[in-house]
């Protein structure tokens, strides 16, 4: 399969367009042009050898950490593992896999969990810094957002919804034919957020490139209708601090949380355990060093706080996707309880809309807690507090670092699902018979 270097291709395209004056008539970045440029990029770039310094940095980051497989026969066992601080990355029939350091291994052993296998993390690493080039880091993401907003002033605006722990802006691209910036709109709203979790870089690419695609197709009849009648928000990189930390040495750090400094000097809160929905009751850890640490209290973190304020200020929001990776699944509430949502009509909307998006992506749609119960989840909170039909997408791949080759197909199928969500945002209940 070809390696598709999207960010390189885009930068090249922008440079080329600037020098040749060859932007499309609106000055817009052309997604089709971008894709054709990408697919004509040189096939199969050989992985670059890692410089010794990078190897050393990676060894330091991964020293004493393992890819482990633990026996867990059902969702209740999986929930208990989350509470022990283990972030479940892969679910198998009778076991789960993920990353563990010495403290977690000791904790699992003391709680009588059976560790079936463990492989030093460095051995499992299967990607190279050269693969980063296809993905957008924080600066590249912001540059692209600014470029898109500047090229489409009639329908787009860009603003910050708040600052991260380390002071980076959390940028939101808005697509609305009448209201700009933070001005209120009565039009039904759709919200797309990526990158709650640092190492899930694909979850930034999907909403970011969805935006590029929307601008490129803004004159298609259906897209034009959505832009004219809806209020569309795209926040591709919520956890910019964590995403930057994960790549800053040129080798991946397998980092999940934000960059808060905890009371015990450990680093990070799991942002998707920090929302006020059964906060820290099940499937979350109170141990600050754990990957599933819920934080000292609900909404303790600037990133989740920014989302809270954003959603609470916009009562017009009807639909939402929060992108994560990886499982090829679409999840709907509840995640924090085994129960179904109590409103039968809403439940049927979740099932129907989830199934439709499942057909478009090939992902399996189901109630989130069927996988395991995890409280403090953003989509549970968005539905409970705002009545928003909120879906978690666990994007595809067989690793947090699936390489550049996956981008074009993953983005293409997820654009279809994201557009479908727009098509029901005016009234999600219309999907019911
Ligand atoms: Zn995630």
The pLDDT of residue 122: 58
Superfamily holding 64-125: YebC, transcriptional regulation domain (3.30.70.980)
The pLDDT of residue 258: 98
Examine the pLDDT at 229 and tell me if it is beyond 60: yes
Q: Would you list the domain boundaries of the chain?
A: 64-125, 129-251+292-431
pLDDT tens digits, 108-152: 988 889 998 888 775 443 333 455 577 899 988 999 999 999 999
Q: Looking at residues 295-310, what average pLDDT do you find?
A: 98
Examine the pLDDT at 57 and tell me if it is beyond 50: no
pLDDT tens digits, 372-389: 999 999 999 999 999 999
The pair of structure tokens assigned to 154 is 């009639």
CATH T-level fold of 129-251+292-431: Aminopeptidase (3.40.630)
Q: Looking at residues 87-100, what average pLDDT do you find?
A: 89
182 catalytic per annotation: no
Cα–ligand 1 centroid distance for 325 (angstroms): 6
The pLDDT of residue 28: 53
Residue 42 contacts by C-beta under 8 Å, 6 or more apart in sequence? none
Examine the pLDDT at 308 and tell me if it is beyond 50: yes
Cα–ligand 1 centroid distance for 323 (angstroms): 7
Widest CA span of the chain, in angstroms? Answer: 66
Examine the pLDDT at 430 and tell me if it is beyond 90: yes
Give the 3-state secondary structure of 35-78.
HHHHHCCCCCCCCCCCCHHHHHHHHHHHCCCEEEEEECCCHHHH
Pairing of strands 115-120, 156-163: unpaired
Q: Looking at residues 271-289, what average pLDDT do you find?
A: 97
Cα–ligand 1 centroid distance for 14 (angstroms): 31
User: 402 vs 97, 176, 189, CA distance in Å?
Assistant: 17, 33, 32
pTM: 0.82
Rounded to 5°, angle at Cα 99 from 98 and 101: 145
Examine the pLDDT at 3 and tell me if it is beyond 60: no
Cα–ligand 1 centroid distance for 334 (angstroms): 16
* Confidence bin at 61 (pLDDT 50/70/90): low
Examine the pLDDT at 234 and tell me if it is beyond 60: yes
pLDDT tens digits, 313-370: 999 999 999 999 999 999 999 999 999 999 999 999 999 999 999 999 999 999 999 9
Task: Write down the number of H helices and E strands in the chain.
Answer: 14, 12
* DSSP SS3 for 128: coil
Shared fold status for 64-125 and 129-251+292-431: no
Neighbours of ion ligand 1 (CB under 5 A): 197, 200, 324
Candidates 83, 301, 394, 396; catalytic one? 394
Cα–ligand 1 centroid distance for 197 (angstroms): 5
Cα–ligand 1 centroid distance for 346 (angstroms): 24
DSSP 8-state symbol, 409: H
């Amino acid at each position: 399969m070809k390696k598709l270097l999207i960010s390189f291709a885009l930068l090249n395209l922008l440079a080329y367009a600037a020098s040749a004056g060859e932007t499309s008539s609106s000055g817009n970045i052309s997604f089709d042009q971008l894709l054709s440029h990408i697919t004509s990029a040189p096939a199969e770039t050989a992985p670059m050898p890692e410089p010794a310094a990078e190897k050393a940095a990676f060894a330091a980051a991964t020293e004493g950490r393992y890819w482990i497989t633990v026996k867990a026969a059902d969702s209740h066992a999986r929930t208990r593992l989350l509470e022990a601080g283990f972030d479940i990355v892969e679910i198998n029939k009778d076991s789960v896999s993920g990353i563990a350091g010495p403290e977690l291994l000791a904790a699992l052993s003391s709680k009588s969990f059976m560790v079936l296998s463990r492989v030093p993390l460095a051995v499992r690493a299967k990607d190279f810094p050269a693969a980063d080039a296809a993905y957008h880091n924080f600066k590249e993401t912001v540059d692209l957002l600014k470029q898109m907003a500047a090229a489409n002033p009639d329908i787009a605006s860009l603003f910050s919804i708040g600052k991260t722990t380390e002071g980076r802006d959390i940028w939101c691209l808005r697509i609305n034919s009448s209201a700009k910036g933070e001005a209120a709109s009565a039009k039904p709203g759709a919200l797309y957020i990526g990158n709650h979790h640092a190492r899930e870089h694909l979850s930034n690419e999907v909403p970011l490139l969805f935006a590029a695609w929307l601008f490129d197709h803004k004159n298609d009849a259906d897209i034009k209708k959505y832009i004219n009648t809806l209020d569309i928000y795209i926040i591709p990189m919520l956890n910019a601090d964590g995403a930057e930390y994960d790549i800053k040495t040129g080798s991946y750090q397998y980092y999940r949380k934000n960059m808060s400094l905890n009371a015990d000097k450990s680093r990070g809160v799991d942002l998707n355990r920090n929302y006020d929905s059964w906060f820290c009751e099940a499937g979350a850890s109170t141990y600050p060093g754990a990957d599933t640490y819920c934080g000292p209290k609900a909404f303790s973190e600037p990133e989740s706080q920014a989302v809270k304020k954003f959603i609470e200020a916009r009562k017009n929001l009807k639909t939402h996707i929060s992108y994560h990776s990886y499982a090829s699944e679409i999840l709907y509430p509840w995640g924090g309880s085994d129960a179904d949502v109590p409103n039968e009509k809403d439940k049927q909307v979740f099932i129907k809309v989830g199934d439709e998006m499942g057909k478009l992506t090939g992902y399996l749609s189901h109630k989130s807690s069927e996988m395991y119960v995890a409280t403090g989840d953003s989509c549970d909170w968005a539905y409970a507090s705002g009545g928003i039909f909120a879906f978690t997408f666990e994007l595809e791949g067989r690793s947090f670092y699936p390489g550049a080759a996956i981008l074009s197909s993953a983005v293409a199928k997820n654009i279809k699902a994201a557009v479908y969500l727009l098509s029901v945002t005016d009234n999600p209940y219309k999907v019911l018979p």
